[in-house]
Amino acid sequence: MRIEAIHATPGYSGFFFDDQRAIKEGAVQDGFTYDGTPVTDGFDEIRQAGETLIVDVELADGSVHRGDCAAVQYSGAGGRDPLFRAAEYAPVVEGPVAEELVGREASEFLANADLLEDGEFDGDRLHTAIRYGVSQALLAAAAHDAGTTRTDVLADELGTEPATEPVPVFGQSGDDRYVNTEKMFVKGVPVLPHGLINSVEKIGEDGETLLEYVEWLTERSQELGPEGYEPRFHIDVYGMIGEIFGAPYDRDEVVDYFGALEDAAAPYPIQIEGPMDVGAREAQIEAMIELREGLADAGVGVDIVADEWCNTFEDVRAFVDRGAADVVQIKTPDLGGIHRSGQAVRYCEGTDTRAYLGGTCNETETSARACSHVALATGAAQVLAKPGMGFDEGYMIVENEMRRAVARRTREQRPTSADEVTADD
């Protein structure tokens, strides 16, 4: 079925854009916003409204299929594409992008998505948000054309066997790291709570505040979690361990701190995202390797998660090839086309690195549902509950989309009575 038209409408995303550099350099929070001057190119304020570009792909049968262009909360940081302004890019989607795609067959998902990956506008590669959102709409259109799920389309294109159960969902608390985490415990969320530890105040001058928080996690999970609940703790520290301890990262002081985190989390596993941010990919890989080797030599079982400077498919490959992390976050908007996230998960297969299909609170319900199908198609180790920072809404969207897709696939694959008779014969 042919693609007839592509439309783009600016809208809002599920959270906000934040100038990470300004925050890490000490911007003072004023209620929900921040006082101070932004330092990252493109920002008018340190915190400003998140934006999305709603993309509609119209097919020859009159059906319309949606994808949402989205960019991460901390746009322009850690080697990512610059701040995404939806109104500026709407003419790009309805112009050059539409010119490339209109008239093509919706069934050719991978070929269509790859066309975007290689496309340029005024000599530059398309912004990752455009590739991300348009590819979601192309995926939905391909599933409609085939009369199947987006999971099945991706599995066929990527050569995978889809998961038969929902992938473990990872809950993100935002700054409300106690109340939102208690919600997660009550619902039995398998991976949690992120914690948003992005300042010295939140981690403590010597890391003591984070240790107290992990101790609270362990105690409260046992009080509130369902019977048999065994969570995995995942905390993003935004490089703050590196800020308070500094290099080298394999020395006793650093390793002992990670050992204390492991003890505080026991009997549950714990993984720390972004332990340091040293400003460039190669230096980040070296620092992560140094830390991992120090932990391994000391027998400390804390897993390390790559985030900063692990943005593109090429970045993921570099971290995996060097063994720089136990887990890599595949930050879906940063990889561009949604198929690239699936390919990045697949790249982790057969290695010692697990794939966390992440993203950002600053996405939309449309992009979150699309990513749920990537998680199922590739069997990722965990998938982020998104969008927003309220937890419940994102968890509902991602978990329910996976359950719905699994149930549909199960119904469609269940043999009919005639099939059973034939098989017996």
Question: Which residues form the catalytic set?
Answer: 331
Instruction: Measure CA 46 to chain center.
Output: 22
Rounded CA-CA distance 40/44 in Å is: 9
CA separation for the pair 125, 359 (Å, rounded): 21
Residue 125's region, left for phi above 0, alpha for psi from -120 to 50, else beta, is beta
How many Å apart are CA 303 and CA 292, to the nearest integer?
Answer: 8
The C-alpha atoms of residue 346 and residue 380 are separated, in whole angstroms, by 8
Enumerate residues 6+ apart whose C-beta is below 8 A from 33.
45, 46, 47
In this structure, the strands spanning 354-357 and 33-35 are unpaired
Residue listed under structure tokens 């600016």: 10
| Sequence-ordered list of residues with C-beta below 8 angstroms from that of 122, at least 6 positions apart, any chain | none
Instruction: In whole angstroms, give the CA distance from residue 5 to residue 57.
Output: 6
Question: What is the DSSP code string of 279-325?
Answer: SSHHHHHHHHHHHHHHHHHHT---EEEE-TT--SHHHHHHHHHTT--
The whole-angstrom separation of Cα 291 and Cα 326 is 11
